[in-house]
A and B are shown apart, each in its own frame.
Chain A
Amino acid sequence: MNKEISTSVSAVKREDVMKIINAFRDQPGALIPLLQAVQREYGYVPKEAVDLIADELGMFPVDIYGVLTFYAQFYLEPRGRHTIRVCEGTACYIMGGKDILDRLKTDLGVEESKTTADGRFYLETVACLGCCGMAPAMMIDEDFYGNCTVGQLDEILKKYE
């Protein structure tokens, strides 16, 4: 595992997670918002946090993992520095979004939902970014790219280190 990433794991602080747990403790059914808050803090949901939540809420960790693995938006591992989201919604698919995805996979040497070996990019697909008129579309972190062509990809990726 990449050095940078492993430091972030040990950076999980008990009191920070406790603060989040306490904010949601008395709300019925607040497990999902609680986990979302943990993920906002760390970029993923670390194992240490799951154990602590289980203890504090009197649940089995397996039930928390059950929820975490059900929903696509939860990450159980740290992601690369930049997240690439290629739209695989219907409009983008019809307009050639798959070419973009295939090209990124080859160029970056990485499969979907995985981080590149150098920790630079995390590649995933999403279903519709809501800008179907600019299909095919993708996002890198918060930046949006519409009407993408494979030819532009090199130029775009250069912007992210």
Chain B
Amino acid sequence: MSEKRKILICMGTSGIAAGATGVARLFEQELGKRNLADGFQIIRTGDRGLFRDVLVDVIEPDGQRTTYEYVKAEDVVPIVEEHLIEGNPYAKRLAGKSYHDFFKSQMRIVLKNCGEIDPEDIEAYVMHDGYSALRKAVQDDSAQIVKTVTDSGLRGRGGAGFLTGMKWKFCREAAGDQKYIVCNADEGDPGAFMDRSVLEGDPHAVIEGMAIAGFAVGASRGVVYCRAEYPLAVKRLQKAIDQSREKGFLGKSVCGSPFEFDISIMQGAGAFVCGEETALLASIEGKRGTPRIKPPFPAQQGLWGKPTVINNVETFANVPHIINHGAEWFASIGTEKSKGTKVFALAGKVKNTGLVEVPMGTTIRELVFGPGGGMLHKKLGLKGVQLGGPSGGCIPAAMADTPIDYESLQSTGAIMGSGGVIIMDEKTCMVDVARYFTGFTVSESCGQCTPCRVGLKRMHEVLTRVVEGEGVPADLEFLGNMGNTICSTSLCGLGQTAPNPVLTTLRYFRDEFDAHVHRRECPAHVCTTLMHYEVIEDMCIKCGACAKVCPAGAVTWERGKTARIDPAKCTRCNACNTACKYMAIR
């Protein structure tokens, strides 16, 4: 191979948002100007999972790697001159300890290629063992593939955690001339983006996983149902499908075998409930995306009434690794009942936000203080963690040693869900968070069944009343009863899980509800109607942050003096409170 030095530039959605496209172009220009272009290969990769604006790696032919973070346009010339020409790393943007710590405690299987290869270049994927599992699979007995996946213990990463091999087995055994493989890339949890990163950073892995599934169950058609908000993922996936068809990994004769398989993409149109599998299938058929009662399960009657395997993006992306390295290898990672790794989207009040892949069974604390790098603000401690988005729950800091696996989480009232993990500190109001999720599910309920359509709405009204300081003690009892009723009587998974954020906060953070209802106070200083906008003398460290951001000129502050807010000028915009990291504004 070439002895070229490589420059990797992370260009997923967030990299591009931070200006990576311009940085990549500048590197090309600057190298071109100096007649150095031939010595370098510029590789545009997907995002690596850590938000550091623009990330640039320089890799020497011997594998030695230097990483730069927060790279701006003006850093390109110094990197070219000082590092690429002189050989001295450009110190100003060198990735720091927290960057390296972020990756140190991870185990990257699904994300292995994300941020490392050019997702638009099939050769790069092939060079990293790509499509070797598919080649191997089509030579094998299809029943054996199903068995390997079953033995590996792989469970669905879309939320429910059903054993993938079992699902495949049901579909394989179902009678039908035509079967389908559907990839669920709807990723509705607002705060989870691992599926998007995989599609943007390593689309071939998903294609390969789907093709292996197709071979295993006897399906010749695949559909990826992708969330409409993900244009870049769709573009890269389409390009990858076209390339792999060209190379014979898809099409009439997959890898030269008699097995036929092809994939098309369907773009969603903005409906969270379409992540539910039966709703998703209805949507592919061009209908309103309303769920239906199961059974029959999709494995028996799915797309167009035919047996269908529907799995999540991350589930499919695990499959090639299982085929390549064997069921035993996969089963050796994780806990007794939850095998392999899980990708989490870490966000909220933690230092490092981004995608983290760790073995199942890692504790919440390890996640927050390992890759997460600890809490965002020194003075504001961990209060709780929200797992599983609108279907999940809030776990209090006291339970931070809970291992993250399907069963342990379920026993707390939260769920694994898609893997969204939101870290909350003392300045996060749990009642408000519960209200937030309920508001989300109210607007996303499909409206078919009464408990979900009406019940959630009532809960949301009550929660709104509580955060606005108008709640009454009976409200809390109502929330508990109504929540339980909705869980047990709703038609689909949306309603059955939507009260979880409220029920868990009621269970673990009851005192905060009481404060709102009995004392008309928000202990976290979040609920704006309960704010007085006055500075608490004892808490104020006199830093001036509030004065700096006030757009109304209502805050007076002098060095060394406690800030003061003039109620006559204050517009209650809350900017000062957001800026204050010391809970000094009440």
Name A residues whose Cβ lies closer than 8 Å to a Cβ of B.
28-33, 35-36, 66-67, 70-74, 88-91, 93-96, 99, 102-103, 126-135, 144, 146, 149-151
The answer to whether B190 and A128 touch across the interface, beta carbons within 8 angstroms, is yes
A28-B304, A133-B14 given; A91·B353 CB < 8 A: yes
- 0/1 interface trace, chain B 489-531, chain A, CB 8 Å (1 if under): 0000000000000000000000000000000000000000000
Partner of A91, one of B14, B304, B422: B422
- Complex CA distance for A31 and B13, rounded to whole angstroms: 29
Instruction: Decide if B51 is an interface residue (CB 8 Å cutoff).
Output: yes
Known contacts A72-B271, A90-B389, A99-B575; can you find 11 more A-B pairs with CB under 8 A? A28-B286, A29-B304, A31-B286, A32-B266, A32-B269, A94-B349, A103-B573, A128-B189, A130-B196, A130-B229, A131-B13
For residue B533, give the distance in angstroms from its CB to the closest CB of chain A: 13
The answer to whether A134 and B51 touch across the interface, beta carbons within 8 angstroms, is yes
For residue B570, give the distance in angstroms from its CB to the closest CB of chain A: 13
Residue from A73, A90, A91, A146 having most chain B Cβ neighbours under 10 A: A90
Q: Which residues from 319 to 350 on chain B have a C-beta closer than 8 Å to any C-beta of chain A?
A: 345, 347-349
For residue B127, give the distance in angstroms from its CB to the closest CB of chain A: 28
The answer to whether A133 and B436 touch across the interface, beta carbons within 8 angstroms, is no
For residue A54, give the distance in angstroms from its CB to the closest CB of chain B: 14
The answer to whether A134 and B17 touch across the interface, beta carbons within 8 angstroms, is yes
A67-B287, A71-B271 given; A89·B551 CB < 8 A: no
Contacts of B436 in A (CB 8 A): 90, 93
The answer to whether B286 and A90 touch across the interface, beta carbons within 8 angstroms, is no
Partner of B386, one of A35, A90, A131: A90
Instruction: Decide if B428 is an interface residue (CB 8 Å cutoff).
Output: yes
- Specify the chain A residue showing the minimal Cβ separation from B443: A72
Q: How many residue pairs at the A-B interface have CB separations less than 8 Å?
A: 138
Contacts of B578 in A (CB 8 A): 96, 99, 149
For residue A125, give the distance in angstroms from its CB to the closest CB of chain B: 10
Partner of B191, one of A36, A66, A73, A128: A128
Instruction: Decide if B99 is an interface residue (CB 8 Å cutoff).
Output: no
The answer to whether B433 and A36 touch across the interface, beta carbons within 8 angstroms, is no
A90-B436, A128-B193 given; A70·B288 CB < 8 A: yes
The answer to whether B288 and A131 touch across the interface, beta carbons within 8 angstroms, is no
Residue from B50, B286, B345, B437 having most chain A Cβ neighbours under 10 A: B286
Instruction: Decide if B284 is an interface residue (CB 8 Å cutoff).
Output: yes
The answer to whether A67 and B422 touch across the interface, beta carbons within 8 angstroms, is no
The answer to whether A132 and B193 touch across the interface, beta carbons within 8 angstroms, is yes
- Complex CA distance for A103 and B572, rounded to whole angstroms: 10
The answer to whether B422 and A90 touch across the interface, beta carbons within 8 angstroms, is yes
- Complex CA distance for A103 and B271, rounded to whole angstroms: 26
The answer to whether A71 and B269 touch across the interface, beta carbons within 8 angstroms, is yes
Contacts of B290 in A (CB 8 A): 70
- Complex CA distance for A72 and B287, rounded to whole angstroms: 14
- Specify the chain A residue showing the minimal Cβ separation from B229: A126
For residue A157, give the distance in angstroms from its CB to the closest CB of chain B: 13
For residue A50, give the distance in angstroms from its CB to the closest CB of chain B: 15
Which 3 A-B pairs give the minimum distances between C-beta atoms? A133-B51, A90-B191, A72-B270
The answer to whether A94 and B288 touch across the interface, beta carbons within 8 angstroms, is no
The answer to whether A127 and B348 touch across the interface, beta carbons within 8 angstroms, is no
- Complex CA distance for A132 and B188, rounded to whole angstroms: 14
- 0/1 interface trace, chain B 172-185, chain A, CB 8 Å (1 if under): 00000000000000
- Complex CA distance for A32 and B267, rounded to whole angstroms: 9
- Complex CA distance for A127 and B551, rounded to whole angstroms: 27
- Complex CA distance for A116 and B14, rounded to whole angstroms: 29
The answer to whether B573 and A99 touch across the interface, beta carbons within 8 angstroms, is yes
A91-B353, A103-B573 given; A33·B190 CB < 8 A: no
Contacts of B201 in A (CB 8 A): none
The answer to whether B17 and A131 touch across the interface, beta carbons within 8 angstroms, is yes
Partner of A73, one of B51, B188, B269: B269
Contacts of A126 in B (CB 8 A): 229
- Specify the chain B residue showing the minimal Cβ separation from A34: B286
Partner of A151, one of B196, B230, B575: B575
- Specify the chain A residue showing the minimal Cβ separation from B436: A93
